[in-house]
Amino acid sequence: MSDSSAAPGTSALATILAAVDLGEGAATRLELAFDLADRLGASVIGVAACRADLPFYFDGAIGMADTIANLERREAVQHIGEAEALFRRAAGGRTNIEWRATATAPLKFFAEQVRAADLVVVGGTGGAEAPLLPMELDPGDEVMVAGRPLLVVPPGIARLACRSAVIAWKDTREARRAVSDALPLLKLAADVCVLAVGPAPDEAGANDVAAHLKRHGVAARVMLRPSPTHGPGQEILDVAKQWNADLIVAGAYGHSRLREWALGGVTRDLLLKSPVCCLISH
């Protein structure tokens, strides 16, 4: 399919929300969001939040605690200002943009703002594990609260060409929703692989998905891996590498993290290890 720009209003994807922070990959992630918006004729909403960590009060230190609290609030406001400057630099002269930010708990604010978007662009780890900065969110938490498809972008990726895509197929509500959510991006791809992994892979379901995509003008083929060399998550990543794919589409399985990983192993592998963009729906 063509990689040409879409006229405004012609894509099912009209609004992209970009979660903005000051971590590694933030600038290139915004480049990707704006480039994708230009190609799909979509507007972009930038969202950022930073919570001021207030100190505990204890006898004899109330004055000191107030001073620390004021410093924390000023620092949070400063971080938000830096994030807005980053967003506006990336936006350039575009006018179809909006900025939303507040000094509050980032996950709560994020969960409220995603209602305004069709697709949410967030940061991924790309395999690197590091402590989260004050404005950063864990993609596992974001998946659970969004109610929107998330495009998880590893650090350093500034453009999603959508030259080819791998759909991690499993006949579940989450996977079916992911295929539907990904359609605007899949229509940009020249090749799409519907991949079913594991013993007794769902060949009939994968064929139905491929036929469904072809009716939408998406060139799709089926690949079955009944005897994977690795676990299913790693197998999906291996196939994506062999396929030279720059997009993986998958459903997210699991429940609220409650500060611990409660997502399925495949979802966890994709969120933590994927070197390419992943569209994840829950």
Say if 263 falls within a structural domain. Answer: yes
3-state SS class at 40: helix
Closest CA to 31 of 161, 197, 218: 161
- pLDDT (tens place) for every residue of the chain, 282 residues total: 434 445 444 458 999 999 999 988 999 999 999 999 999 999 999 999 997 765 555 555 555 555 656 677 888 899 999 999 999 999 999 999 999 999 988 999 999 999 999 999 999 876 556 666 778 888 888 988 999 999 999 999 999 999 999 999 999 999 999 999 999 999 999 999 999 998 989 999 999 999 999 999 999 999 999 998 888 999 999 999 999 999 999 998 765 444 344 456 788 889 889 999 999 998
**Residue 113 CB neighbour total at 10 angstroms:** 21
**Residue 69 CB neighbour total at 10 angstroms:** 15
User: What is the C-alpha separation between 275 and 267, in angstroms, rounded?
Assistant: 14
Say if 7 falls within a structural domain. Answer: no
Domain boundary, last residue among 153, 183, 203 = 153
Cβ atoms of 35 and 159 closer than 8 Å: yes
**Same domain (yes/no): 132, 23:** yes
**Same domain (yes/no): 45, 64:** yes
Take residue 274 and report the two structure tokens written for it. Answer: 């994927």
Say if 188 falls within a structural domain. Answer: yes
Domain boundary, last residue among 118, 153, 188 = 153
Is the pTM for the entire model greater than 0.75?
Answer: yes
**Same domain (yes/no): 28, 148:** yes
**Same domain (yes/no): 141, 247:** no
CA distances in angstroms from 216 to 38, 163, 182, 188, listed in the order given: 22, 17, 12, 12
CA distances in angstroms from 271 to 27, 174, 281, listed in the order given: 20, 15, 12
**Same domain (yes/no): 168, 147:** no
**Same domain (yes/no): 138, 113:** yes
Q: What's the total number of domains in the chain?
A: 2
What range does the domain containing 236 cover? Answer: 164-281
Cβ atoms of 165 and 192 closer than 8 Å: yes
Say if 86 falls within a structural domain. Answer: yes
